[in-house]
Amino acid sequence: MASTVLVVTALEDVTADWVIGALNEREVPVVRVDPADIGPGLAFSARIGAGAPAWTGRLVTGSREVELGEVAAVYYRRPTPYAARYQHLPAQQRDFSAAEARHGLGGVLNHLHGVAYVNHPGAVTAADFKPAQLQLAAQLGLGIPPTLVANDVEAARKFAADHGPVIYKAFRGLPTGEDGHTGAIWAQRVDPEAFDDTLAVTAHLFQAEIPKTGDVRVTVVGKKAFAQQIAAPDGALDWRRGDWDALLHAPIAVPASVEAALHSYLAAFGLVFGAFDFALTGDGDRPEDWVFIECNPNGQWGWLPDADAITTAFADILSTSTEGGGAR
């Protein structure tokens, strides 16, 4: 019977380290691999045929070897992009090699038969679009901020007139610059008087600013939910922009109807785990106090006070999969 957990992530990933440590304590076989190591640091072969309609073969890293048929669960964290492996190549060769690796090695790893994924990368991709998140949250009865996605300056001005004050949020983080550094654009208040025709260049996300009393991060792993109210000492609009070590945390109870909606949300996207962000407009006792902001289907949680309990929840799901229970 398959008994190995394959952890797909980059070399330096403290969050994955914790989950691997918990699995090691349970004596669950673990193999860690970063697909971007393909080459001398990662060799693989996979076979399939009419008489054997599932991929078989093996992965060999510098320190581990695993037969694909031995993999019971995949913990998909944050592997290095394939393009990083081929940065030294001319653009055409780089793009071709990265695409071949993604569709070949990635195509095999993402379609192992009978394997539980936490989370499946395809589900992560589908759930990573904010318009899809907001629409599903509203359909499930969660409160959401009035939102406009547009590149039309007149539509943006009218939205601001109807719903001001207005904040702007980026859909994605900043890509890596030529200096190799990444960055972020935090949620920020915007002045509609500054709107001009440059909005036409790309898509923008505008939302009515919620008069919030606080923020909440709800980390859902399987059937378990871990909620922490978060406050930035400087009262920042976006608590992510500052020193995370300075954030103030307090556990908070999630109303039953809100928690049920979160489990339905994950099920709709085929996810096992999600990191949900909410704005509170009251003390949090009533479902209507909770306003859905977004869900990161591959979010960070190692910095939270309940990280140990979250680690255990991940280990529970992954180890249960090695016993034939599957991810639920």
Ranking 135-149, 168-182, 248-262, 303-317 by mean pLDDT, the lowest is: 168-182
On whether residue 303 sits in a domain, the answer given is: no
Dump pLDDT digits (tens) for 283-308.
899 999 999 999 999 999 998 999 99
Identify whether residues 23 and 52 lie together within a single domain.
Answer: yes
Tell me, yes or no, whether 128 and 232 share the same domain.
yes
52 and 138 assigned to the same domain = no
Same domain flag for 137 and 275: yes
DSSP state for residue 287 in the 8-state scheme: G
Overall residue count recorded for the chain in this entry: 328
In a domain, 302, yes or no: no
Task: Indicate the pTM of the whole model.
Answer: 0.92
Among residues 209, 240, 262, the one where a domain terminates is 209
Average pLDDT of every residue of the chain: 92
Q: How many CA atoms lie within 13 A of 225 on its CB side?
A: 22
User: Are residues 188 and 92 part of one domain?
Assistant: no
**Assigned domain for 284 exists:** yes
Q: What is the CATH number of the domain that holds 177?
A: 3.30.1490
How many domains, in total, are found in the chain?
3
Banded model confidence at residue 187, pLDDT cuts 50, 70, 90 = confident
DSSP state letters, 32-97:
EE-GGGBBTTEEEEEEEETTEEEEEEEEEESS-EEEGGGEEEEEE--PPPHHHHTTTS-HHHHHHH
Asked whether residue 74 is assigned to any structural domain, the reply reads yes
pLDDT tens digits, residue range 46-62?
A: 999 988 889 999 999 98
Both 138 and 236 in one domain: the answer is yes
Residue 279's domain spans which residues? 120-144+210-297
Picking from 169, 185, 209, the residue at the C-terminal end of a domain is 209
In this structure, are 43 and 101 located in the same domain?
yes
How confident is the model over 124-160, as pLDDT tens digits?
999 999 999 999 999 999 999 999 999 999 999 999 9
Same domain assignment for residues 228 and 124 = yes
pLDDT at 32 over 60: yes
The model's pLDDT over 189-232, given as tens digits with 9 standing for 90+, comes to: 999 999 999 999 999 999 999 999 889 999 999 999 999 999 88
